[in-house]
Amino acid sequence: MPAPSDAIIEHFAAARRRKNLSSPYLAVYNPYGAVIAGLYPLTQHDATDANIVESLTEWRRRDSKWFFTQFEATPERTRNWILSSLLLDTTKILFLIRSAGGELYGHYGIRWAQGNVLELDNAIRGISSVPERLFHFVEITLLRWAFECQDVEKVIAQVFSDNIGATMMHRGVGLAAEREYEFDAAKYTGCDITSNGREFKRVRVLSISRGDFEAQDSRSADQAGTDHKAFARDRNEPT
């Protein structure tokens, strides 16, 4: 697999380096320009926060059937994964999604897949009571951010073909089905599909190119009157 470009690595490193952890790295706006949530790259400090570790564990356990790798989630395992895998992996970022008051809504990850391709990854709505269409706007925020990185030409997502919620979420921001392939459980450590009682067999790959996203994003911004300059200002807050 080709190495990620310097631009992508630097983009990810900048998100991790930031010192100002009390304000979001990315603000999530609704079409009327109101901030409805913030995205906070998960940090080493978060691994010492029992509430965060327990929430991530509980959500992963609850929604495990939608993920490729199956395992018994425990707080200890989550903490170890954050410290010895996620935070050491320069190609991945997991964003916590929080309200302005700090309430944890869920999380959303992004990872460099190959070449100039980024993959949307590890999205979970942790609680039911979140702002309307939150994950739609989180995904738009992440796509804008990803395509701002000059080397990203395409963003993809991979979902089990029976995962309607995730498929609709991706379609809603413009990703289109590209292909499907047979899921190979043997590739994933600890993955035991049969014991999970599911019959999924296929993975759907959805994608959007930079050009398609930019055309669609400027159309919807015109319609909704979104202030792109304000958005950019907030994103480039000092780290």
Residues near ligand COA, by CB under 6 A: 63, 66, 123-125, 133, 135-136, 159, 163-166, 168-169, 172
Give me the residue whose beta carbon is nearest to ligand COA. 165
Nearer to ligand COA, 13 or 164 (CB): 164
Report the nearest approach of ligand COA to the CB of residue 13 (Å). Answer: 25
Residue written as tokens 């509430």? 51
Burial class (CB in 10 A: 0-12, 13-18, 19+), 110: buried
Report the nearest approach of ligand COA to the CB of residue 121 (Å). Answer: 8
Nearer to ligand COA, 79 or 107 (CB): 107
Residues 6+ apart with CB under 8 A from 201: 161, 182, 183
* Residue 168, SS3 per DSSP: helix
Report the nearest approach of ligand COA to the CB of residue 48 (Å). Answer: 25
Report the nearest approach of ligand COA to the CB of residue 129 (Å). Answer: 11
Report the nearest approach of ligand COA to the CB of residue 108 (Å). Answer: 8
d(CA 29, CA 5): 29
Report the nearest approach of ligand COA to the CB of residue 123 (Å). Answer: 4
Nearer to ligand COA, 164 or 232 (CB): 164
Residue written as tokens 């100002």? 20
Quote the tokens at residue 158.
């991979």
Nearest CA among 110, 178, 196 for reference residue 147: 110
Nearer to ligand COA, 5 or 67 (CB): 67
Phi first, then psi: what are they for 13, rounded to 5°? Answer: -65, -35
Nearer to ligand COA, 73 or 166 (CB): 166
Nearer to ligand COA, 63 or 151 (CB): 63
Burial class (CB in 10 A: 0-12, 13-18, 19+), 191: middle
CA distances from 219 to 32, 178, 224 (A): 15, 23, 9
